[in-house]
Each structure stands twice: as C-alpha cells, then as structure tokens.
Structure 1
Amino acid sequence: MTSLAARSPLMPRLVLPLTLFAAQGQAGGLYLYETGTDDLGLATAGMAARAQDPGVQLMNPAGLSHLEGRQLTVGGQLLYGDAPYDLDDPALSDVDTVIGWFPAASFYYSQQLDERWSFGVATYGNFGLGLDYGDWAGKELLKEATLLALTLQPSLAYRIDEHWSLGAALGINYGLFALKRDTGQGEQKQDDSDWALNGKLGLLYEFNPDTRIGLGYTSEVKYHFNIEREFPLPDLPGTSAHLSLTGLVNSPQQLMLSAYHQLSHDWAIMGNLGWQDWSQYNSNEITLPGRVITDKGMYKDTYHLAVGVQHALTPQWTLNGGIAYDSSAYEDQQNTSLTVPSGSAVRLGTGASYAFNPQDSLGMGFEYLHMDGSSVALGDLSGHYPDPDFYFFAVNYHRRF
C-alpha cells in the first residue's frame, strides 16, 4: 500500500480534513423509514394512513384514533449495508463495505382513553449510521464514525367526528456522535452526545371505514456536537491546523401524505407521497484560524413515492408487498460526502403476518433497498460508492388487550 503521507502536498492535506468534517457536520446520517413494523413489508406505503397498529404514530399520531382498546407492537430489525468504497488510485486498497450489520429495535403502545381521545408512546431509532473503514489509506483522518439517535415519543390523538382526527407528538431525542482515527501513534477517539426535541402533527380523514387519507408533519431534529480536532502538518514541522467543529447533525423536517383503500374483504391498496427538506443544510460553515469555508449547494430537497398492496390470504395469514422510490439528497452524485453514502433509492418490500388468535399476531418482513452510486472528491482518497445495497430483516409481535 502506498503511503498517503509520502504522496500528499500541503494543500491536499488541508483540504482533505476540511471536506471530510464539513460533510459530517451538514447532513450527517441516513434517515430511515424502517423500524421493524409491518411498514417494512409494504416498503412504507400507506404508513400515515394504514392505522392498523400503534406504529402509525411514527409518521402520523392522528392515526391512533383509529385503534380500539389497548394495543402493543414490539419490533426487532437487522440491517446489512453492502456499501464498498473504491478508491480511484489503483495503488490503494479498496474498502469492502463501510456499513455491514446494524441492529435496531422499536416499541409502540396505544390506548383509547374514551370515544374522543387516544394516547400513544413509542421508542425507536430511525436516523443515523455506523461507518467502519478499517485499516485503509485514510485511517489517519477517519477510521470509524458513528451517529446514533434514539427517540422517546409520547403522542395524543383527538377524534373530532366520524371523519376527522387530529394528532400531535413530542420527540425526545438522544444523539451520540463518535469518531475514531489512527494517527500511527495509536488510536484517537472522540465522542459527544446531545439531547434535542422535535414535534409531529397529524391529520386523518376517513371517507368511510374502507377509505382514509393521512397527513403527517415532522419537524427537524437538531443536535449540537462539539468535537475538537487538531491535524499536524508534516510539511511544516512544528505547526498544525486546528479545526473547531460545532456540527449540526440533523434529520430534516418532512411531510408525508398517505392513502389507504380496502378494495374488497381481502384486498387493500395504499400509497405515499412525501417530502424532506435537506436543502436547508446548505449554509453550514466550517472554520480554521483566519479562514471560513461554506459549502453551499451540495444538498437538495428529496421526494418520496410508494405504493403497496395487502392481501388477507386466510383468516390467519395476511401478505404485504410494496415498492417505493426516494430521490437523492445530493445536487450532483459526482460531488458527495465520504461519510454519507447516499443517492436516489428504490425499495422493494414483502412480508406476512400470522394471527394466532384475535389478540396476538406475529409479523415478518424483508426489504431490499438499491441506491445510486456516488463519487467523492478527497484528493488522494477520492473514490466512489458503486451502487450500495441495503437489506432489512424484521420481526414484530402485535398484541391487542
């Protein structure tokens, strides 16, 4: 393996860390709709209107008004990200995958308080990413990066009449941001954590018991992580560049419009139209002494489309299937962030649930996500992510009390 230090002039050594951490501070992680519920088997289709279990409060708390009595959904999920990073320089070894296996779990509870009011509480994690580049050419700058977020969400819904319902929820979010690099004198680790609040508002309109539409709004989650970084400059002995990073690692505000229609006693169709405000992260500044760098125009708003079907095969078995498309958050796939391997994505989901009795059911789901490739310009570490693939496996238990 060729030595990076032996090949890098002064300017690339300055620009490289600036670009790396500017990307991490702007958009940060990967926003996921998947949290281990039956929505995974539907590729998220209808998630703000389906309202068949307490997981509806993830996107639309007003959907709780459609649930009777007390209900509980507990889900477990496993993600595998096949996201290799291929360096442009053939003398440097590629990274097999920077993501690998990533577990998650969720808990959703709903309770009908009276004919008008319903309450819910949820715990889930659907924003973040764990990256592990291992012993690669850029380990002096980045070896591992982890962004984890966990949300505790109380929700409340009010049924106005037989057609209209309103909902609101408070997200209490805990975020952890950790970095690791290998300086040649041992590993250096830094991490920081923060608490942040956000809100959800929801609206559900039922034309009749077989047809409904839901609209959910989620405000952004804004974390403030303080990481101090100092980079030696071998070309100027005894000097260093100091990077003081106050990163804003956020999940954007978003809107989700969903529809659900029962075609017959055993067939239903559903769909989504969504929007996420990634373009608001185009004005963050990264500073060095005497120098300010603002990376404008890297991100743009994204749009989401999904359609799914549900088939009651027998009184016990229900089958799910769906397809979804999300546009890329990058303006240019040839100018992307090393720490956010992302692009336009197609989701294919399938799943099934089995009802043991009227109270207890078990759900299983699988989803395949194919993402467009992206290129990263980082001097000697320039490379590309060739069409990453993600695989989601989920199982959940649903109980009606």
Structure 2
Amino acid sequence: MTKNNTQQTLLATALACALFSLSPAVSAGGILMYEVGTADVGLAAAGYAARAQDASTVLTNPAGMTRLSGNQTTLGAQVLHGDVGFSIGDGTSAGLGNKSGGNPVGWFPGGGAFYTHSLSPDLKLGFGVTGNFGSATKYEDGWVGRYRAQEGKLLGVSLLPSVATRINDKLSLGASLNLMYGMLDNKVAVNNIIGSDASLTLKDNSWGAGANLGLMYEVDAGRRFGLTYTSPVKLNFKAQAQWSDLAPGVRALLNARGLLDTQVDLGVTVPQGLMASTYQQIAPDWALLGSVGWQQWSKFGEAEIGIDSNNPTALSTQLPFRDTWHLSVGTQYKWSDAWLLNAGIGYDSGFQRNGQIALALPVNATWRFGVGGQKEQSSSFNWGWSLEYTPQGTLRSNAQGGVPVVLGGRGSVIGEYKKVNFIFLAMNFNWKS
C-alpha cells in the first residue's frame, strides 16, 4: 500500500471513530474535551496551542501548521472509562424509590483524524474531523432522578478545513472553519400518578458553524508562544415532543395546556474560548510546556427537560452555568533517539455550582494527570501512547420539587456523586510524506 493510500485509509478510519464515538460527561471546562486521542492526552493539555508537533495542530492551533514539513497525517484513537455513581441523600422524596441509577457513563470510544498539506514552506492547508464536544449519560430504569434525567446525549462532530501562512521568520497566522454537526437525544420519565411511568423524548440534529483563529510566535528554534481563539457555535435544536405510555388524564391535561404536540427549542451554544500556551526548551533533552485558558460556559444554554404532570407549564427549564478557566504545566524528555516522554498536570474550574449539579450533567471541576510517550519508528512514521487520570471529587446535587410524587410531582432528589473520575487510554499514529 502506498503512503497516500495509507493516509486515506487512516483518515476514513478516524472519521468513523469521530462520528460513532459518544463523548461522555467529562469536560475541559464544561463538556468540551481536550482529549481526542492525540499526544495532548499525556500532557494534560499543557502546551496545547504551542506544541505543533503533528497534524493535530489543525484543532489546537491552525497557525502551527507552518511548523510541519511536507504532508502529514495524524490519527488519534482513545477509550475512556467513567466512574460516576450517585448516592441518595437525606431529603430525597420517598415516593421516588431507592434505586441510585448505576453508573450512567461507563466505557466510551473516541478519536480524531487530521491532515496537513504543504503548498509551499510558508503556506499550508489542513483538514480535521473529531468529536470533542458533548456528553452522554444513561441511568438505570426506575432510579430516583428519572423525572429529571433518564437518558441523555448531546454530541458535536466537527469538520475543520484550515489554512495557515507564515508572515515572517517568527510569526504565523492560521484559521479553521468549524462546521459542527450536533446530535441531541434526551429522554425522561413522566409521572403518571397511577401505574407505571410514561416517558418524554426529545430528538433533533442541527448544523452550526464557527471559526478557530490561531497565532504562533517563534522566538527561536526552542521557544514559541501560541494563542488560539475558538468562536461560539450555535446549535439550533428544535425537537418535537414524543410521548410514550401516557395515562389518559395526563394526556388530556397536556393537550389542554398545548404541550402534547409542542416543539421545544433546545438550542445550545458551544462556548467561545481562548487558549494561550508556551513551549520552552530548557536543555537539549528537556522542554517545559504550559497553558492558560478560558471558556464562556455562561452562554451555554443547556436545559433540563421534564414536567410536573399535575400542573404542566413547560417541558424544559434553563440551567445556570459559569465561565471556566484552565491551567496546565507539562514536560517533554528526550529519553533516547527513538523515545520522547510526555507528562503533564492540568486543572479546569467547574461550570456548575457544587450543590447544584444537574443530574443530566454529572461533571464539574476537573484535575488532569497525564503521562505518555512517542516513538520515532522511522523518518516517516511515529506512534505514541497516553494515559490520563481525571478525578473530580464529590459532586453534590440538590434538585428540589415542590409537588409530592403521589400528586404528580417530580419530587426532590438530593445526594452526591462520590469520587467521580475518568481514565483515558489513547494511541496516536503519525505519517509524513
């Protein structure tokens, strides 16, 4: 197989990974991940916008493409496991039962593919496809929070056509068009008051567009600074309410309120953000990397769906979120001619107030601890592995319901997600031609 055929096969494989991966409720600041199977996993995002050592710079900083010679392809693949278990606390309505919901996350695959093409040493084109935005949760049937969250999926897959140019021997500029395909699929139980529960499902798909702008400033061969701005992307979800197993009285009340056949506007905004990163070679075999970032989750717009069936007034309730910030530091060590070792520590602040964690989004402030390595197999091929551990501690929820469950209310759900953590295992493969 030729190099070109190999690269085409890899891009097709990664496209399949991105399209079929279900990013769980693990976050950068909110539910926008840094992890797409590349070497950044082992660095905990340290140097994210300045590293520019492979074609994944299409995503992290398109200006970094000017540092890559020839044509390059990067394939990233990862699997993660989320440990997210809910413990029922005092004050939870007795009528909701005693099921804690199991682990709503579990195992998920993910990844991305990136390609850069040299039109000249100073002008580069690129393309990427990855799914780095979203959450997916699925609780066990009959759990105490079923009237607020049962199954939820909010995913975005990005197509990233990109261009970069070198302005002079130090400054490069780049831009990517972020064409995002969003997928929404939410389901909650509905209290029928008498008998088994009904359900409400909202589904829709939507396209949105934004831009990623990058700057790379290279002081010299061993020192550089990168800055990336990602614009907001609006996903205008408009979902038709789909009901199952409604009791006749509840159906009649919904119809009288105009909610039975309503279309719900659940548009969300993938937040804008800034990331500034540095790469500093401090010795022939050592380099230090760092990143500082900000994301505007206060404009996210995600809503909780559900109703009190005795007095339904709306099918969704807006949730409050806060902007987040990121800080990470890391190192690269040239262990041998073949091996480059990576390590990093990062922290992202929470986009929810602890004590008000939404049952549909059991995620918040995140630590990242990453390690990894890259092996230079030949002048045209290298591969790498990464492992990252992301603990989030204990997340507390306090969803209050004013109407008793026996009268059709959703009840109060109070409790904790104890010792929430995620583990990423990633592999990346890089070809040059």
Q: TM-score range by the shorter chain?
A: 0.7 to 0.9
Aligned length: 373
Judged with a 3 Å threshold, the aligned counterparts in structure 2 of structure 1 residues 294 and 349 are, in CA distance, closer, same or farther, namely same
Report the equivalent of 2:104: 98
Q: 2:253 aligns with which of 225, 236, 239?
A: 239
Partners of 2:267 and 2:301 within 8 A in 1: no
| 2:192 is equivalent to residue 178 of structure 1 | no
What is the rounded CA distance, in whole Å, between the counterparts of 2:120 and 2:161 in structure 1? Answer: 17
What is the rounded CA distance, in whole Å, between the counterparts of 2:38 and 2:343 in structure 1? Answer: 13
What is the rounded CA distance, in whole Å, between the counterparts of 1:74 and 1:308 in structure 2? Answer: 22
Report the equivalent of 2:339: 317
Q: 1:143 aligns with which of 134, 146, 150?
A: 150
Q: 1:303 aligns with which of 307, 312, 325?
A: 325
Answer with 108-117 or 220-229: which moved more. 220-229
| 2:365 is equivalent to residue 344 of structure 1 | yes
Question: What is the CA deviation profile of residues 190-228 of structure 1, one whole-angstrom value per residue up to 9, with x for unaligned ones?
Answer: 421111111011100000011000000001121111223
Partners of 1:198 and 1:219 within 8 A in 2: yes
Report the equivalent of 2:388: 367
Judged with a 3 Å threshold, the aligned counterparts in structure 2 of structure 1 residues 238 and 111 are, in CA distance, closer, same or farther, namely closer
Report the equivalent of 1:162: 169
2:355 match: secondary structure: coil
Shift of 1:287: 12
Answer with 202-211 or 220-229: which moved more. 220-229
Report the equivalent of 2:210: 198
1:244-393 matched pairs, under 5 angstroms: 244-281=263-300, 295=318, 298-330=320-352, 332-378=353-399, 379-393=411-425
What is the rounded CA distance, in whole Å, between the counterparts of 1:153 and 1:237 in structure 2? Answer: 45
Report the equivalent of 1:56: 57
What is the rounded CA distance, in whole Å, between the counterparts of 1:292 and 1:152 in structure 2? Answer: 32
* Counterpart residue identity of residue 47, structure 1: Y
Partners of 2:266 and 2:302 within 8 A in 1: no
What is the rounded CA distance, in whole Å, between the counterparts of 1:284 and 1:389 in structure 2? Answer: 24
Judged with a 3 Å threshold, the aligned counterparts in structure 2 of structure 1 residues 389 and 234 are, in CA distance, closer, same or farther, namely farther
Report the equivalent of 2:402: none
Question: What is the CA deviation profile of residues 317-339 of structure 1, one whole-angstrom value per residue up to 9, with x for unaligned ones?
Answer: 11100000111112x21112111
Report the equivalent of 2:36: 35
* Counterpart residue identity of residue 98, structure 1: P
Judged with a 3 Å threshold, the aligned counterparts in structure 2 of structure 1 residues 29 and 228 are, in CA distance, closer, same or farther, namely farther
2:42 match: secondary structure: helix
Shift of 1:144: 1.3
1:51-90 matched pairs, under 5 angstroms: 51-88=52-89, 89=92
2:235 match: secondary structure: strand
| 2:232 is equivalent to residue 213 of structure 1 | no
What is the rounded CA distance, in whole Å, between the counterparts of 1:117 and 1:362 in structure 2? Answer: 26
* Counterpart residue identity of residue 283, structure 2: S
Judged with a 3 Å threshold, the aligned counterparts in structure 2 of structure 1 residues 187 and 299 are, in CA distance, closer, same or farther, namely closer
Answer with 162-171 or 261-270: which moved more. 261-270
* Counterpart residue identity of residue 276, structure 1: Q
What is the rounded CA distance, in whole Å, between the counterparts of 2:302 and 2:82 in structure 1? Answer: 29
Report the equivalent of 2:45: 44
Answer with 203-212 or 248-257: which moved more. 248-257
Question: What is the CA deviation profile of residues 50-78 of structure 1, one whole-angstrom value per residue up to 9, with x for unaligned ones?
Answer: 11101112121001011111111101111
Partners of 1:342 and 1:372 within 8 A in 2: no
What is the rounded CA distance, in whole Å, between the counterparts of 2:237 and 2:265 in structure 1? Answer: 6
Judged with a 3 Å threshold, the aligned counterparts in structure 2 of structure 1 residues 164 and 237 are, in CA distance, closer, same or farther, namely closer
Partners of 2:46 and 2:345 within 8 A in 1: yes
Report the equivalent of 1:127: 133
Give unmatched runs, 5+ long, in structure 1. Answer: 1-23
Provide TM-score, normalisation by structure 2: 0.79
Question: What is the CA deviation profile of residues 292-350 of structure 1, one whole-angstrom value per residue up to 9, with x for unaligned ones?
Answer: 99757x322111000010011011111100000111112x2111211111221110000
Answer with 380-389 or 147-156: which moved more. 380-389
Partners of 1:324 and 1:347 within 8 A in 2: yes
Partners of 1:375 and 1:384 within 8 A in 2: yes
Shift of 1:400: 1.0
What is the rounded CA distance, in whole Å, between the counterparts of 1:291 and 1:154 in structure 2? Answer: 40
Partners of 2:42 and 2:388 within 8 A in 1: yes
Question: What is the CA deviation profile of residues 82-129 of structure 1, one whole-angstrom value per residue up to 9, with x for unaligned ones?
Answer: 111222248512122111111112101112211321111111110111
What is the rounded CA distance, in whole Å, between the counterparts of 1:334 and 1:123 in structure 2? Answer: 36
Shift of 1:382: 3.0
* Counterpart residue identity of residue 42, structure 2: G
Report percent identity of matched pairs: 35
What is the rounded CA distance, in whole Å, between the counterparts of 1:36 and 1:230 in structure 2? Answer: 36
Question: What is the CA deviation profile of residues 154-182 of structure 1, one whole-angstrom value per residue up to 9, with x for unaligned ones?
Answer: 11001001000000110111111112345
Provide TM-score, normalisation by structure 1: 0.85
Report the equivalent of 2:407: none
Question: What is the CA deviation profile of residues 252-278 of structure 1, one whole-angstrom value per residue up to 9, with x for unaligned ones?
Answer: 100000000111221111000000011
Shift of 1:234: 9.0
What is the rounded CA distance, in whole Å, between the counterparts of 1:127 and 1:283 in structure 2? Answer: 13
